[in-house]
Amino acid sequence: MENPIIPKHIGFIMDGNGRWAKKRGMPRNFGHSQGASVFKKTINWCRELGVECATFYAFSTENWKRPEDEVRGIMNLLRQYIKDIREFADEDICIIILGDISAFDEDIRVELEDIMQTSKDNKGFIVGIALNYGGRAELTRAAKMLCEECLRGKISPNDVTEELVEKYLYTNKMPPLDLVIRPSGEQRLSNFLIWQAAYSEFVFMDTLWPDFTKKDLERAIAEFSGRNRRFGGV
């Protein structure tokens, strides 16, 4: 495509790691490790293509249901990747963690909080990483914070507008979510950015996340570019 419309914000549901590993007779955590390296590459592809913000679904509020050794493996992978995430933060990238990281081990939590704090004014690109994230949990958290503001007398229930709710979401510094890409053949959101995706475009593909390439990203953007977004108008 000549001059595709580039989405400002893409959400990636990094799915299919387990199936990718299984196909190779390897443990599921091997797939997670391959998937994590694709996460790093995808950030660079997005920057090369002119995207402003990318959010990655790395661990959902429902993923705790998995076997203990798989969860432990994912946490260790996260430990390993913290160094890389910090390097991105040093390249003028703002890192935003979406989700309740208070459930994580202290060493991980402290590092992630520090990365968020030190990168918060970076302007080059925004990377969102959804960890212990669920869209329902995010909206519940927003509702709780709004109730507290009401009880403190800072706002009244009539002040609660869609714009105000958005201020209480993890995505409040991000551009609107234009496109959600889900590899692995599943066609669902699985509790990812449910508020933000209200008018997003969706591109599903059979590729498993560890096999995701820059070509796949370019194809998804070309498809997005050809869509007619009406937002309820004509």
Cβ neighbour number for residue 46 with a 10 Å cutoff: 23
* Sites for ligand IPE among residues 131-190 (CB under 6 A): 184, 186, 188, 190
Q: Which of ligand IPE, Mg ion, none sits in contact with 63, Cβ below 5 to 8 A by type? A: ligand IPE
* Closest-CA residue to 224 (of 180, 183, 160): 180
Residue closer to ligand IPE (CB basis): 58 or 126: 58
Judge contact between 174 and 9, C-beta under 8 A.
yes
Active site residue 122: no
Rg (CA), the chain: 18
Dist CA 95 CA 112 (whole Å): 9
Per the listing, tokens 């909080």 go with: 113
For the CB of residue 74, give the shortest distance to ligand IPE in the complex, in Å: 6
Residue closer to ligand IPE (CB basis): 18 or 146: 18
- Tell me, what amino acid is at 147? C
- Residue 15 is a binding residue for Mg ion (CB under 5 A): yes
Residue closer to ligand IPE (CB basis): 16 or 135: 16
- Residue 15 is a binding residue for ligand IPE (CB under 6 A): yes
Residue closer to ligand IPE (CB basis): 186 or 206: 186
Pick one of 7, 11, 16, 135: the residue that binds ligand IPE (CB under 6 A). Answer: 16
Q: Which of ligand IPE, Mg ion, none sits in contact with 13, Cβ below 5 to 8 A by type? A: ligand IPE
Active site residue 63: yes
Residue closer to Mg ion (CB basis): 88 or 192: 192
- Residue 28 is a binding residue for Mg ion (CB under 5 A): no
Judge contact between 165 and 146, C-beta under 8 A.
yes
* Sites for ligand IPE among residues 64-93 (CB under 6 A): 74
For the CB of residue 71, give the shortest distance to ligand IPE in the complex, in Å: 9
Q: Which residue among the candidates 3, 29, 44, 63 is catalytic per the annotation?
A: 63
At residue 69, the 3 state secondary structure works out as helix
Q: Which two tokens stand for residue 44?
A: 């660079």
DSSP per position, 75-111:
HHHHHHHHHHHHHHHHTTEEEEEES-GGGS-HHHHHH
Q: Which two tokens stand for residue 102?
A: 């208070």
Judge contact between 45 and 2, C-beta under 8 A.
no
Q: Which residues are catalytic, by number?
A: 15, 63
Task: Give residues in contact with Mg ion (CB under 5 A).
Answer: 15
Task: Give residues in contact with ligand IPE (CB under 6 A).
Answer: 13-19, 57-60, 63, 74, 184, 186, 188, 190
